[in-house]
Chain A
Amino acid sequence: MIGGLFIYNHKGEVLISRVYRDDIGNRRNAVDAFRVNVIHARQQVRSPVTNIARTSFFHVKRSNIWLAAVTKQNVNAAMVFEFLYKMCDVMAAYFGKISEENIKNNFVLIYELLDEILDFGYPQNSETGALKTFITQQGIKSQHQTKEEQSQITSQVTGQIGWRREGIKYRRNELFLDVLESVNLLMSPQGQVLSAHVSGRVVMKSYLSGMPECKFGMNDKIVIEKQGKGTADETGKSGKQSIAIDDCTFHQCVRLSKFDSERSISFIPPDGEFELMRYRTTKDIILPFRVIPLVREVGRTKLEVKVVIKSNFKPSLLAQKIEVRIPTPLNTSGVQVICMKGKAKYKASENAIVWKIKRMAGMKESQISAEIELLPTNDKKKWARPPISMNFEVPFAPSGLKVRYLKVFEPKLNYSDHDVIKWVRYIGRSGIYETRC
């Protein structure tokens, strides 16, 4: 259980402080202890859990905001961190980016949220949708609250399905499905893949009336390690079209028993946006870009760098927001860059050449070459050559995941699967995409 929750800005000033239990002692002491020992600490953060005077401080950083949960008990660490993430998600759902300005402007709302989400340090209701009933940003007057709203509060949690309330109506039944993937790569200088994985999410925005029953299908060759049940026989049949998922988890609304027996994903979706599924793959990943670095040291004061990037996907698709970051030594005095495409700039403050390309089609190649002048130093230490990192966005799923169908059934209301407008979108982004040089 959580004894208190504090939010600080980067200077260590308290923006929000909420104490739930007395056992964490004097509020000021706890607040200050974290500031002094972690935010103002000189060395790097050693651990996301810090113990100060027998009190554990769990922290999470979002841009330059620190969120800290404080407890005196021997708690379940994964749960506290998950709670902090959830808190961030809920706040983001209410006012967007978590920044100092937003927190200051919404501090009343945050106190309201903290009041509902935690009671006596125990997590209560934290679903954004369900919370909306309790949070009264506009200050609804108590007498004027309609009968309907009141009954909602009562019925919301008494109903069979905790994540969806009854009687939702839309004029247009719409569904948005986003497959969001982040592809991570660690490549050796010789072009050998050291490790690569995709972590993906299927996010759904549903605007459907009533209590619809949805069925979702994808091209899986699921290798969830089920005890004893072999899946080898199907691999040959589905061939290249299917993908192997290492591990996947679903939103609470998915009936896992059905998934285990029939491998079908069926659920009654919450209203609005939610994360249907989260998965990870490591096999047969389409690496959208290949980085080929070439570094040559010419004498002691000059360095020649040539980097080629190759796009490896269908020529008809376009990658966007491409950024290649080529680190330079600390004693760089000047840089000359020539690139065929996009813009490249040497950023002395970041010790890197940043090369940006707005758009790039598949199966293309582009190259940058740079001459780096170095100041002579008597430092014996060799430059440790940090890896070249990349950012990009591509309109397909690097894991190869495809949505095969998404069907909607609503037995009580008279709309069928054909009446629902469905949108599917694939976005692949770079996670940590590094090539050593």
Chain B
Amino acid sequence: MPYLGSEDIVKELKKALCNPHIQADRPRYRNVIQRVIRHMTQGVDVSSVFMDMVKASATVDIVQKKLVYLYMCTYAPLKPDLALLAINTLCKDCSDPNPMVRGLALRSMCSLRMPGVQEYIQQPILNGLRDKASYVRRVAVLGCAKMYNLHGDSEVDGTLVNELYSLLRDQDPIVVVNCLRALEEILKHEGGVVINKPIAHHLLNRMPDLDHWGQAEVLGFLLRYQPRSEEELFAILNLLDSSLQSSSPAVVMAATKLFLVLAKEFPHVQTDVLVRVKGPLLTACSSESRELCFAALCHVRRILRSLPGHFSSHYKKFFCSYSEPHYIKLQKVEVLCELVNDENVQQVLDELRDYCTDVSADLAQAAIFAIGGIARTYTDQCVQILTELLVLRQEHITSAVVQTFRNLVWLCPQCTEAVCQALPGCEENIQDSEGKQALIWLLGVHGEIIPNAPYVLEDFVENVKAETFPAVKMELLTALLRLFLSRPAECQDMLGRLLYYCLEEEKDMAVRDRGLFYYRLLLTGIDEVKRILCSPKSDPSLGLLEDQAERPVNSWVSEFNTLVPMYSKACWAAISSSQVSEPHGPEPSGNGVLSASGSLVLENKEELQPLCDSGSFLLVPNGQLTAEQFEKTWLSLEVAHQEVLPWQGVAHPDTIQTALQVVNIQAIALSKAGVQPWKAYFSAQDGAGCLFLTELLLDPEPSQVHLSVKQSQAKAEALNSFISVLKTVIGTIVGIKS
């Protein structure tokens, strides 16, 4: 391993670098430097030879220079004082007659990530911007972005920005694109680079000169431009038409997005665009580059959600091949499930049925869930296929089929009978929690038409001690109680046993609580139990309602061609949210909306759960601001939320302060008790550093309190959570007083 004996290695390298004989012998010298880089790559800390490497930079050998610069860029943050020694050589190289050397030196100098380098690089960058070689200009332009990045807090230099804007007219295409990139970074806080009409038209004219990367990025920047008139809009679309046929998928995707965004107001244009990109997308979906194929499939799924019939005639393109990687197969199954229509449903189902017996349990389950999705429209055929699968008696297949059945019964009540006939015997082949829960739920809700339902549940009750999943036990309790209502004679005895077990022996508090709840519920009389447990058994409207928000093309255009379609939307929300509390792994979105088993059971769960305050929203204790800071911030912000709450009597500053302290809301200033008007200021901070500033103003006449909250970062979700916390506390204080 590279970590062992690294000290010896470094010592040896140092010795070699210092050796004058080696220094004189160029190939040998370079060889030693290569070894240093190699060790650096492997993770050995070779920062202690920094001094010797700096010496090695004074050479005419370009390769050696490049290597040394690479080394310096890596270790400069660790050895800032020594790195300053190298600046001299770098500055000298910046005025070398060879443009390549100038570019290299400037690039390296800008990449030295260490404090204090700014003053040395400013002048070379400015010179570089006016260099006659485009190679140097490219480097210099990005150098501006790097320089700004090093000192993010420093003021934006107006002259530099103007210089960069004027360089947008440079004749070298890469300089132009780099200018956009640099301006975007420098003006990040002001909303990025401004694309006005002259710039937009200039960029449009330069498009053919740019390489693929440049085209893709410029198309992204053009998203900002809002054409003034309809004619201009269509002129732009005509100009960019060729981009939709580019050989680079990245350009095609970027162009598609731009078309969709520009044509926001013209749905028929959007549809036309999606028809035009069908070809390129299908090519990408069947390309040999697996990863691009994956990206394309993700986007196909997104498009299908808005235009379900869009790819229907090409359904065969989405049949899986045996040798394709797993992730592509899973995506294809999802796509197949979305593009069925009357003509192809039989073929698609035949194909999916083949996947159900695939060696990979993941794919098999995904295929089963996909059939379940299709079953919402073509119920009979799908239920038949699923029933046939049960004969295989494979654990993972049976479990997935039963879960699909559960979801299906809820959405399509007409298939209940067929499902209930298929259920007997399944219990022998289900081992996982999800499958068991689904089976138990079905037995509980539709137990009256399954002859042996009580006996199957009895088996579960017998083995409840050995059951490892608390969720299964909870489901069992509910199901048994439900069945008890329809078939009391057969269930009374075992319900008693189960309740006894839950109350006396169960260790899991949630299960015990639910047992206790049911026990008390039964004490109130059978009518009350019926009122609470006999909720509807199906809800066909749910299937129609779900995902409606995702339908219009405009709802997702802004996310097209980003990472959002690649991860699922929920995952992306978790990734991009600034709350650090809950790390979500990417979850397979296999069985649609009803994957959380509990979501189907519409009972009053709230009564069981202790009042949970605000989910994952957390205020951190160290949000202590000084009064001056508070005042400054308060004045600079807009009111984000205002509300009036009922209040009684006079305010007791101490009570309020203590109460809010408990939930980490700090008091900044409070009026004395009894003063009119009574005012108080509070501050709090959440885990992501968002500040919440609050003013309470007591109005004695109608006896109410005015609440105004300001927020340092506009985040609606966090704001709502904060206000609910605040209101809970104020409500509690009022409650105590009355």
Contacts and interface: CB of A to CB of B under 8 A. Distances in A.
Interface of A: 1, 13-17, 19, 22, 27-28, 31, 44-51, 53-54, 56, 58-60, 74-79, 81-85, 107-108, 111-112, 115, 119-120, 122-127, 134, 136-137, 139-143, 145, 150, 153-154, 157-158, 162, 182, 184, 186, 194-195, 197, 199, 224-225, 227, 246-247, 249-252, 256-257, 260, 275, 278, 280, 380-382, 384, 386-387, 389, 431-432, 434
Contacts of B282: 246-247, 280
A54 B574 CA distance: 9
Nearest to B359: A384
A76 B561 contact: yes
A111 B322 contact: no
B276 interface: yes
Given A83-B213, A141-B62, A162 B173 contact: yes
A124 B146 CA distance: 16
Contacts of B63: 108, 112, 136-137, 139
Nearest to A123: B213
A60 B291 contact: yes
Given A111-B37, A111-B70, A225-B276, A14 B42 contact: yes
28 contacts: A14-B41, A14-B43, A47-B294, A48-B290, A77-B562, A107-B41, A108-B37, A115-B107, A124-B213, A134-B100, A141-B61, A142-B62, A150-B97, A150-B100, A153-B135, A154-B132, A157-B174, A194-B316, A197-B286, A225-B279, A246-B283, A249-B246, A251-B247, A256-B245, A280-B282, A382-B357, A382-B392, A384-B358
Given A22-B113, A107-B34, A246-B282, 5 more contacts: A47-B294, A77-B563, A79-B254, A162-B209, A250-B245
B268 to A, nearest CB: 12
B367 to A, nearest CB: 13
Task: Sort A-B residue pairs by CB-CB distance and give the 3 closest, nearest first.
Answer: A249-B247, A79-B250, A247-B279
Given A125-B211, A278-B247, A119 B138 contact: yes
Contacts of A48: 290-291, 294, 327
Given A136-B63, A158-B171, A199-B283, A434 B37 contact: no
Contact of A139 (B62, B242, B254, B351): B62
Interface residues of B, number: 110
Contacts of B211: 125-127, 162, 252
Contacts of B630: none
A111 B289 contact: no
B interface, over-half SS:
helix
B66 A111 contact: yes
B286 A199 contact: yes
A interface, over-half SS:
mixed
B400 to A, nearest CB: 16
B250 A78 contact: yes
Contacts of B583: 53
B99 A154 contact: yes
B119 interface: no
Contacts of B351: 194
A49 B563 contact: yes
B253 interface: yes
Interface in B239-283: 242, 245-250, 253-254, 272, 275-276, 278-280, 282-283
B134 A115 contact: no
Interface in B195-247: 209, 211-213, 216-217, 220, 242, 245-247
Contacts of A247: 279-280, 282-283
A269 to B, nearest CB: 15
A185 B150 CA distance: 54
Interface string B673-711: 000000000000000000000000000000000000000
Contacts of A111: 37, 66-67, 70
A32 B97 CA distance: 42
Interface stretch (B467-475, B542-550, B564-572): B564-572
Interface in B87-105: 96-101, 104
Given A119-B142, A139-B61, A225 B322 contact: no
Interface in B34-82: 34, 37-38, 41-43, 60-64, 66-67, 70, 74
Nearest to B73: A19
Contacts of A108: 34, 37, 63, 67
B721 interface: no
B295 interface: yes
Given A252-B247, A434-B322, A47 B327 contact: yes
A387 B319 CA distance: 14
B174 to A, nearest CB: 6
B30 interface: yes
A49 B567 contact: yes
Interface string B291-323: 110111010000000000000000011010111
A249 B247 CA distance: 4
A8 B41 CA distance: 11
Contact of A81 (B67, B272, B291): B291
| Residue with the greatest number of chain B CB neighbours at <10 A, chosen from A22, A112, A115, A143 | A115
Nearest to B363: A44
A107 B38 contact: yes
B575 A54 contact: yes
Given A74-B562, A199-B288, A381 B394 contact: yes
A139 B323 contact: no
A32 to B, nearest CB: 9
Contacts of B145: 120
Contacts of B456: none
Given A108-B63, A256-B242, A250 B323 contact: no
Interface string B493-525: 000000000000000000000000000000000
B250 A82 contact: yes
A58 B291 contact: yes
Nearest to A15: B41
A122 B178 contact: yes
Given A76-B216, A186-B321, A145 B174 contact: no
B99 A150 contact: yes
Nearest to A109: B63
Nearest to A251: B247
Given A54-B575, A136-B63, A224 B245 contact: yes
Contacts of B588: 46
B260 to A, nearest CB: 14
Given A51-B575, A76-B253, A81 B288 contact: no
Contact of A49 (B43, B142, B326, B566): B566
A76 B172 contact: no
A77 B566 contact: yes
Given A112-B63, A139-B62, A141-B60, A122 B327 contact: no
